[in-house]
A and B are shown apart, each in its own frame.
Chain A
Amino acid sequence: MKYETVIGLEVHIELATESKIFCSCSAKFGGEQNDHVCPACAGMPGMLPIVNKRVVDLGMTAGMMLNCHINRTTTFDKKSYYYPDLPNAYQTTQWFAPVAVNGTVEIETSKGKKNVRIKQIHMEEDAGKLVHDDWTNTTLVDFNRTSVPLIEIVSQPDLSSAEEVVAYLERLRSLLRFAKVSDCRMEQGSMRCDVNLSVRPEGSDKLGIRTEMKNMNSISAITRAIEYEVARHIDAIENGTEELVQETRRWDDVKGKSYAMRNKETAGDYRYFPDPNVMPVVIDDEWYDGIKATLPEFPEVKRARYIDQLGLGEYDADQLVESRAFCDCFEEAYAVCGNAKEVANYLISDCMNLLNKKQMTVDMLTLEGKSLGELINLVTEGKVSRPNAKKILAVMFENDINPAEYAEKEGFIVSNDTGKIEKVIAEAIASDPKAVADFKGGKEKALMALFGKCMKELKGNCDPQTLREMLIDAVNKQ
């Protein structure tokens, strides 16, 4: 018998806000344990939640990027359960009127294109972290992550393979990074995913028994987990190896197996009810239109434009659309210098090298596109040599400098003073008569020694073509 797999995903994404969802504590990853904590996010009585407007902005942005309907009145609800990392013993989330509903995401796999329906996107707060201290055999709690804003993107069960799941996650990641909703870094937990999976005979319209794997945080683990679960389900159906039950399972990526979680951790009546302390958030036209106006072009639209209109190669275009920061810088620089290929080169090779050296990710690029465009103009106008341009770029990378002023100040402007060049050439010839003789005797390479000496003396501030011609001229006159 042939089987088909039915998968729905719940993806949790930490939002790129400065502060937490209901208090002014920092929402940044890391920090000393319990550094980003106040009475509100530590669950002390008397503090009242004030919705961080940025969270709603980003929730709406995510909704719009995924073609959702935005609920113009969106409300917050309380979800109750006891766990030491949840200081209020309730999580504030959206149960009755989530910010966005009924969207679609287009994915592409080896089987072609497909639309995945989005059921809803809701905003909520994250929980803290438990830290076990083996030395004292105690469990301690770190509230830094408590109340960090999240969105949960709930898909319909429209996915049917690990390949599609990966394509879907990559697509979400690309769109939401582009819209600056989140950095979507699975390894830091800013993107996590619950996989709901069932298997049924091909063509059947009845769903099989569903299992859920929670908190998956790497693409490769998700692929392995899905493949394992599908095989386990089919084995159970065909060979009766075990009885399938609806349950939550934990994936152990090291052992390559999934395990049933204790029922206690998963069963629960969460007693949702509207949070009376948070007034309904009403999104008026001005707010809605304002967010709409900030939406970026979709990455594939940019890619096509870069290739068709700006003449970039496919490789270059692909590299650029990996990151919104690169695209923004590219477009700003292009507006200044009009040389797309040149800007792409600087970004993809030089800037990427600099980022790697500093162990920074592409999203951390802070280079001003306008300055990069100006630097490229200096090079194409012959005012700054290429090697010196790279030196200037390295400085621009860290500080917001004006490249022309900096080149002037540091003596990086190409010399047009032919008298000075002639003098340097004369000195070089005088100091190395052997090279002169070798060149004249037919050894082309001998010229390089003289050329290098001159360039060094001129600090690189000379158009290499001009120097080469003047040097050959002078040597031949000897």
Chain B
Amino acid sequence: MYITKNGVKTDKAIVLDDMILTKDMPTTAGSRMLEGYNSLFNATVVDKLTDAGYEIAGKANVGEFAIDVMGETSHFGAVKDDEGNLSLGSAEILKKEKVKAAIQLDVNGAPRRASAVSRLVFVKPTYGTVSRYGTVPVACSGETVGVMAKSANDCLEVLEVISGYDAKDGTSLPADMIEEAGEIKRVAVVTAFDGSIDDGVKADIDAFVKTLEAKGVAVEKIDGAGLLASKTAWNILMSAELCNNVSRYDGVKYGYRTSDYTTIDELYTNSRTEAFGDLLKTAILYGSETLSDENYMKVYDKALRVRRVTVDYFDSLFENYDAVLMPATSKKAYGEADVKDMAYEENLYTAPASITGLPAVVAEGVQLVGKVFSEKALLELVKLCKEGE
């Protein structure tokens, strides 16, 4: 039982990461720019949860605009676990408090990495199945609202509540377009990442393979080298969209405003210089470059083509397999010093599902990526693996 600030006793308490907009709580996106910002409206997922009797227990810290490794770039400071390793606010709350689940915007894989190192379950559903209305926009073509919980069962329960068509989100999929995938019987294990992961992660993958086999799931090793191009392509698309989406924070309408200006250009430049952190500034510069007249065809358009090629590549894998097993992280745990300059590298494992919009589930320290609309089947598979434990 969780007791909310207002004294409500509930076993349906939910935490939101600070990318989900709420009317009666501030939403900061982990940035000084939005410190104290109050939205005029709730995200669709928030209304769906409260309508279904869930209690919003509070908000959890995120890295600035949720693009970092695991919250280390938050203006409000990084979150550590009991061993002093880097963690995400939502993960620590789930481990320590009696909350059911955390709702998170998966922009660049941080919730998946946090779930892997914290041994939690996270589901990133198929793009378009959960409304993004009322989430702070960063990389709209791939970011997805997902659920983190202690069990696959809790993920399933909450995912059911927040899924569904929303007329307020133009990319939301109508019910008649959703065809649920069947049971997962054949899994491909990708070896192309083996060279970049540590022994701990390797051991997790081996253990998971053994469990699958014990449960009668057919497992086969594949190279999967077609997934290696996703990282660079996603970094281009994400940065370009981010650059455009955070341009609205200019110090004019709301959010942080510098006190040091006389002209409109100084108001823009100084507000943004003072309020944005280094990783975000790098992403803005990078994104701005990729969209320039000179680079659009050379860089951005190529990234769009990689997206299509990756979708096709997954399709070819799904002719023989129902899901692909791969790491979610390179490490079993991250020290704060480890992650410096890693945000654009560590997403090597999360970018394939981000760029294609395919569903991914992280559990037992590993990641499963499935066909469109297979998120429930993936969670059922995780449940099956835990049976009899």
Chain A residues engaging chain B, CB cutoff 8 angstroms: 39, 42-51, 78, 80, 82, 84, 87-90, 141, 269, 271-273, 276-279
| Complex: chain A residue closest to B134, CB-CB | A46
Segment at the interface with A among B194-202, B203-211, B242-250, B370-378:
B242-250
User: Is the beta-carbon distance between A48 and B248 smaller than 8 angstroms?
Assistant: no
User: Is the beta-carbon distance between B137 and A46 smaller than 8 angstroms?
Assistant: yes
Q: Give the contacting residue for A80; candidates B134, B170, B247, B300; CB below 8 A.
A: B247
Q: Give the contacting residue for A88; candidates B167, B170, B248; CB below 8 A.
A: B248
Query: What 1/0 mask marks residues of chain B from 148 to 175 whose CB sits below 8 Å from any chain A CB?
Result: 0000000000000000000111110000
**Is B130 at the interface (CB under 8 A from chain A)?**
no
Q: A43-B253, A80-B244, A271-B244 are contacts. A50–B168 as well, Cβ < 8 Å?
A: yes
Chain B residues engaging chain A, CB cutoff 8 angstroms: 21, 29, 34, 39-41, 43, 132-137, 140-141, 167-171, 240-241, 243-245, 247-248, 250, 252-254, 264, 268, 288, 291-293, 296, 300
Q: Give the contacting residue for B167; candidates A45, A50, A278; CB below 8 A.
A: A50
**For B21, what are the chain A residues with a Cβ–Cβ distance below 8 Å?**
45-46
User: Is the beta-carbon distance between B248 and A271 smaller than 8 angstroms?
Assistant: no
What is the minimal beta-carbon distance from A365 to any residue of chain B, in angstroms?
36
Other A-B pairs, 18, CB within 8 Å; known A48-B170, A272-B296, A273-B291 = A45-B245, A46-B21, A46-B39, A46-B41, A46-B134, A47-B41, A50-B167, A78-B244, A80-B291, A82-B247, A87-B248, A89-B247, A90-B247, A269-B292, A271-B288, A276-B141, A278-B170, A279-B171
What is the minimal beta-carbon distance from B174 to any residue of chain A, in angstroms?
12
User: Is the beta-carbon distance between B291 and A44 smaller than 8 angstroms?
Assistant: no
**For B264, what are the chain A residues with a Cβ–Cβ distance below 8 Å?**
84
**For B292, what are the chain A residues with a Cβ–Cβ distance below 8 Å?**
269, 271
**For B29, what are the chain A residues with a Cβ–Cβ distance below 8 Å?**
45
User: Is the beta-carbon distance between B250 and A89 smaller than 8 angstroms?
Assistant: yes
**For B245, what are the chain A residues with a Cβ–Cβ distance below 8 Å?**
45
| Complex: chain B residue closest to A268, CB-CB | B293
Q: Report the tally of A-B residue pairs with Cβ distances under 8 A.
A: 93
- List the 8 closest pairs (A to B, CB-CB), nearest first: A89-B247, A276-B141, A271-B291, A46-B134, A46-B21, A276-B140, A43-B248, A45-B136
**For A46, what are the chain B residues with a Cβ–Cβ distance below 8 Å?**
21, 39, 41, 43, 133-137
CA distance A277 to B137 in the complex (A): 10
Of A47, A78, A89, A271, the most chain B CB neighbours within 10 A belong to: A271
**For A279, what are the chain B residues with a Cβ–Cβ distance below 8 Å?**
170-171
22 A–B contacts, CB within 8 A, in A order? A39-B39, A42-B253, A44-B39, A44-B40, A45-B39, A46-B21, A46-B39, A46-B136, A46-B137, A47-B41, A47-B134, A48-B137, A78-B244, A80-B244, A80-B247, A88-B247, A88-B248, A89-B248, A89-B250, A90-B247, A273-B241, A277-B170
